[in-house]
Amino acid sequence: MKEKNKYAFLTSTQMILVYVIIAFSLVVGFRQPAFFSPATIITICRTGIFTMCFALCEMVVILSGGIDVSFPAIGCVAMYVPMYIVNRVYKIDSAFFAFAVAIIIGLLFGLLNGFLVSVLELPPLIATLATSSVASGGVVTLLGTREFTNLPSSLQAIYNTNLITYTAPDSGFTYPLNVLILVPVVAALLVSWVLRKTMLGRGLYAIGGDKNAARVAGFNVRKLQFIAYVFSGVFTGIAAMIYNILMHSATTSALMGDEMITIAACVIGGVRITGGHGTVLGTFLGVLLITLVQNNLNMLGIPTSWQRFVVGIVILLGTILTSWQAKRSMNAGRA
């Protein structure tokens, strides 16, 4: 029995991802020894901040049996509206105000998604596509498409606050790791605890696996769906403001197109697209692999024009792996 459990662990989706990440890192490091440096770690952490935040949003929704393709549009609205108010309406130099407005916007759209999916019982893909169109089209129509690149001093202060700063000895370049890295770290730990240790987490897994069975077991399916989409909306607002601070840019289209990469990171990490199965650790590993591939293909001499192709291959192989693992688990259960 111990040997069987050991084999299952060593061939699990998460461990296979670890093998792939190590192999990819060794290949890149062999071509470019500079890859194995603190600068690479800091760069990957900095790049993965928003992706991990959005992946947590998506993971919770998928676990509940849904899907959310509206978070890029919601994020654009959530970071654009506060910057529009500060720059065009009234100069409020307050980080609290900016984050509060972003969170409220995310909350409202999360409630809308929850209402469409749980009350009107629309297919989640159609409901969130509609929300995405409403958000992106509405903000452009009402507020225009101007880009805001100047941060209020309160947000600039957050940008200037770093946990560590590494200076490369050969080039003299500095690599700061912003304090905002703590947001996805704390959120990941909290979400992991909720999913593993609380009835809320068990309910999300239950309704993702089988809504009717979950309802018979006493779970309030409609309430749990609402919670999943509200969490996604609220945390999307926070993630959008983090993007605005780190990138010094608030536009109506900055995040559009990120939904496929984010969903792919979740699926690669073992989150079943049908719901009911997945972990925060697996999602983190999926985000790490996607970020590594996106950021370091140039070190392997792969042209930019081929990078999307290679990322697509990684996504395809990861999806096949997840499907294979799911079938293996089903066969093991029957045995």
pLDDT for the residue 331: 63
pLDDT for the residue 313: 77
What integer is the mean pLDDT of 241-251?
91
Torsion angle in degrees (nearest 10) through CA of 185, 189, 60, 219: -160
Lowest mean pLDDT among 36-50, 155-169, 286-300: 286-300
pLDDT for the residue 242: 94
pLDDT for the residue 304: 67
pTM value?
0.90
Quick: pLDDT tens for 78-125: 999 999 999 888 888 899 999 999 999 999 999 999 999 999 989 999
pLDDT for the residue 228: 95
Q: How confident is the model at residue 13 (pLDDT cuts 50, 70, 90)?
A: confident
Q: Which of the pair, 241 or 174, is modelled with greater confidence?
A: 241
- Contact indicator for 70, 237 with CB cutoff of 8 Å: no
What integer is the mean pLDDT of 1-7?
63
Q: Which residues pair with 176 in a beta bridge?
A: 165
Quick: pLDDT tens for 204-221: 999 998 888 989 888 999
pLDDT for the residue 36: 83
What integer is the mean pLDDT of 115-139?
93
Quick: pLDDT tens for 43-68: 888 888 988 999 999 999 999 999 99
C-alpha closest to that of 48 among 187, 219, 230, 221: 187
pLDDT for the residue 64: 92
Instruction: Report the distance separating Cα 134 and Cα 137, nearest Å.
Output: 5
pLDDT for the residue 325: 67
Quick: pLDDT tens for 263-274: 888 888 888 888
The number of residues making up the chain comes to 335
Instruction: Report the distance separating Cα 165 and Cα 160, nearest Å.
Output: 11
pLDDT for the residue 27: 85
Rg (CA), the chain: 21
pLDDT at 3 over 90: no
Instruction: Report the distance separating Cα 102 and Cα 104, nearest Å.
Output: 6
C-alpha closest to that of 326 among 261, 274, 263, 249: 274
Percent of the chain scoring above 90 in pLDDT: 45
Query: Cα-flanking dihedrals φ and ψ of residue 38, to 5°?
Result: -55, -30
Question: Which H, E and C letters describe the chain, residue by residue?
Answer: CHHHHHHHHHCCHHHHHHHHHHHHHHHHHHHCHHHCCHHHHHHHHHHHHHHHHHHHHHHHHHHCCCCCCCHHHHHHHHHHHHHHHHHHHCCCCCHHHHHHHHHHHHHHHHHHHHHHHHHCCCCHHHHHHHHHHHHHHHHHHHHCCCCECCCCHHHHHHHCCEEEEEECCCCCCEEEEEHHHHHHHHHHHHHHHHHHHCHHHHHHHHHHHCHHHHHHCCCCHHHHHHHHHHHHHHHHHHHHHHHHHHHCCECCCCCCCHHHHHHHHHHHCCCCCCCCCCCHHHHHHHHHHHHHHHHHHHHHCCCHHHHHHHHHHHHHHHHHHHHHHHHHHHHHHHC
Q: Does domain 12-327 have CATH number 3.30.1490?
A: no
pLDDT for the residue 268: 86
pLDDT, the chain, mean: 87
